[in-house]
Amino acid sequence: MTPIEKVEGRAIPLGLKNVDTDVIIPAHWLKTVSREGMGKGAFESLRADPDNLFDSAEYKGAPILIAGDNFGCGSSREHAAWALGDLGIRVVIAPSYSDIFSGNAVKNGILPVVLPQSAIDRLMEVAKTDPVHVDLDTQTVTTPFQDRFAFEIDPFRKMCLLGGLDEISLTEKSDAAIGAYEAKIAKTQSWLQPATIES
């Protein structure tokens, strides 16, 4: 995964609340065995409108997306994060996210920034004309107009994003603890082993 620290550029002022992952990437784009090329299907229903923001000269390839409450709700499809990444989006800024989406985003080097609606409203305004600057290290979003919004992020997620870390390798360091847990369960709760069925 590509590390992320500072992102500066235009921010797509989408602003909608409850943007579900079916809207981010419709199901028919999920019929693939690869993670690549999903940007083509990203926001398909919105981009059917020739005047959509995503394909406008101004916002095409913009690295930041601004949205409303509950971004990424619905389906767990990680394809939504892959599609955003393939569109070139590295940061989403919204008041809240679905739990599954924010996890998927982080695992794909996309930073989900949480800011209150008042900050979102201001950034939506700035984004119409000017770039937005996001700094993960200092946990701030700034604008050319001296706006400065601080955001919170889970320290583990921050570390993974800054270092571009692969979580599986980190967990493999706990191999002995996992083995000990399995041994304890096998001894004390044997019913947890699925019964064998005759085939």
Partner 1 sequence: MNQPRTLYEKIWDAHVVEQRPDGTALIFIDRHLVHEVTSPQAFAGLRSNGRTVRRPDLTLAVPDHNLPTTARKDAAGNKLPITDSESAAQLAALEKNAPEFGIRYIDAFAPEQGIVHVVGPEQGFSLPGTTIVCGDSHTACHGGIGALAFGIGTSEVEHVLATQTLLLQPAKTMEVRVEGEVGPGVSAKDIILHITGTIGAAGGTGHVIEYTGSAIRALSVEGRLTVSNMAIEGGARAGLIAPDETTFAYLKGRPYAPKGADWDAAVAYWKSIATDPGATYDKTVIIDAADIAPSVTWGTSPEDVVPITGTVPDPASFADPSKQAAAEKSLAYMGLTPGTPMSEVPVENIFIGSCTNSRIEDLRAAAAVIKGRHKADNVKWAIVVPGSGLVKAQAEAEGLDRIFTDAGLEWREPGCSACLAMNPDKVPAGERCASTSNRNFVGRQGPGARTHLVSPAMAAAAAVTGKLTDVRELMA
Q: Which residues bind partner 1 (CB under 8 A)?
A: 16-18, 20, 22-23, 26-28, 30-35, 44-45, 68-70, 73-79, 81, 96-100, 103-104, 107-108, 154-156, 167-168, 170-172, 174, 177-178, 181-182, 185, 189-195, 197
Radius of gyration of the chain (CA): 20
In angstroms, give the least distance from the CB of 139 to partner 1. Answer: 16
Half-sphere exposure of 15 (CA within 13 A, CB side): 12
Residue 194 DSSP label: P
Smallest distance from the beta carbon of 126 to partner 1, in angstroms? 19
CB of 166 to partner 1, least distance (A): 9
Q: Which amino acid is at 167?
A: E
Nearer to partner 1, 33 or 57 (CB): 33
User: What sections of 44-142 are H helices per DSSP?
Assistant: 44-47, 79-87, 99-107, 117-127
Which of 100/162 has CB closer to partner 1?
100
Here the tokens at position 72 are 């990424």
